[in-house]
Amino acid sequence: MMELHPVRLGTSEAEAILSDEESPLSISLVFCVGPDSLLDTSREVGITLLWQTAGKKVAECKKLLDAIDGLRRGKGLRVLDIRTGRAIFESSVRPTGRPDPISVGFRRTVLLASQIEKEFSVPLRMPVVISNEDDASLFHLDCLLNGSAYSEVKDTRLRLVKADGETGAGQEAFIRGDWSVTLTDAPSDYLGYFSLFGQRIPTRTWVRVVEFAPTVPGAYLEEFGKAPTGAEFSIEITAKGPAFLSWRKDSALKNIEIGTLAQPES
């Protein structure tokens, strides 16, 4: 809902602004004026969309995107007087200029911030400037909520102490290349919340998750088989993909419990 404010009235056209204090969007409407000085809504109406998002609610910025996308899809625009229920005017809209006036970066930020609002029930307002801290929080929360890749992982080595029984059999299957192993590590400096747009967003503990396989499957298999229980091995391993982030309780290891299998050297 917006209020309609007259701006000017001339001999051939009149202008009014639709706006609301909480909405980042305002709409300029330019009507033709007939000889009797009345608005001629049967003729083409000039519509200009203006927006200022700094300090506005993220939910309202999401509505801005929805409105612009609706117009870009060619949906008709109706302006209704809610006191009477009558249309002030109805028209089809023919956007001019760039196909999408919203930058990719801003659109992504609003959509992700809107998702964060719903997930954590924290109201957010768009800042004047998105800080480096905001960028880092958005990146981490995108990884946690949407499964986006966190980082590439270099090859490393795994220190393995030979066990017996089922654990030893699992170690052998890993060295042979039949199984992979998932390593997790938790950040040491996480304070229990992300700072975003001046708000604190408390979350569960999260971990980095990487799935590894031997760089050369079977390379240590003969040596491992002949070694006694308790013997140590240093095995070169390769990540099967990038690192991801996961909430700690959701980060169950995919194949082998690493605590009983081996420890990473780095």
The residue that leads in pLDDT, 97 or 148, is 148
Give the residue numbers spanning the domain of 200. 156-264
- pTM for this model (two decimals): 0.78
Residue 242 lies in a domain: yes
Q: SS3 of 72, please?
A: helix
Average pLDDT rounded to a whole number, residues 63-78? 82
The number of domains in the chain is: 2
Lowest average pLDDT, out of 8-17, 37-46, 113-122, goes to 37-46
Inform me whether the pLDDT recorded for 257 exceeds 60.
no
- Structure-token match 């995919």, residue found: 254
Residue 33 lies in a domain: yes
Residues whose CB falls within 8 Å of the CB of residue 64, separated by 6 or more in sequence, listed in order: 23, 24, 25, 51, 53, 110
In this prediction, residue 152 has a pLDDT band, given cuts at 50, 70 and 90, of very high
pLDDT at position 96 is 59
Average pLDDT rounded to a whole number, residues 95-108? 81
Residue 249 lies in a domain: yes
Question: Which of 91, 123, 147 is where one domain is finished?
Answer: 91
One domain for residues 160 and 87? no
Residue 98 lies in a domain: no
Inform me whether the pLDDT recorded for 105 exceeds 80.
yes
Question: Which of 75, 91, 107 is where one domain is finished?
Answer: 91
In this prediction, residue 93 has a pLDDT band, given cuts at 50, 70 and 90, of low
Residue 101 lies in a domain: no
Residue 255 lies in a domain: yes
One domain for residues 87 and 164? no
One domain for residues 162 and 68? no
Residue 114 lies in a domain: no
pLDDT at position 262 is 40
pLDDT at position 45 is 77
CA-based R_g, the chain, Å? 30
Residue 130 lies in a domain: no
Q: SS3 of 176, please?
A: helix
One domain for residues 163 and 75? no
Question: Which of 91, 120, 138 is where one domain is finished?
Answer: 91
pLDDT at position 258 is 37
Convert the pLDDT of each residue in 225-251 to its tens digit: 999 999 998 999 999 999 999 998 744
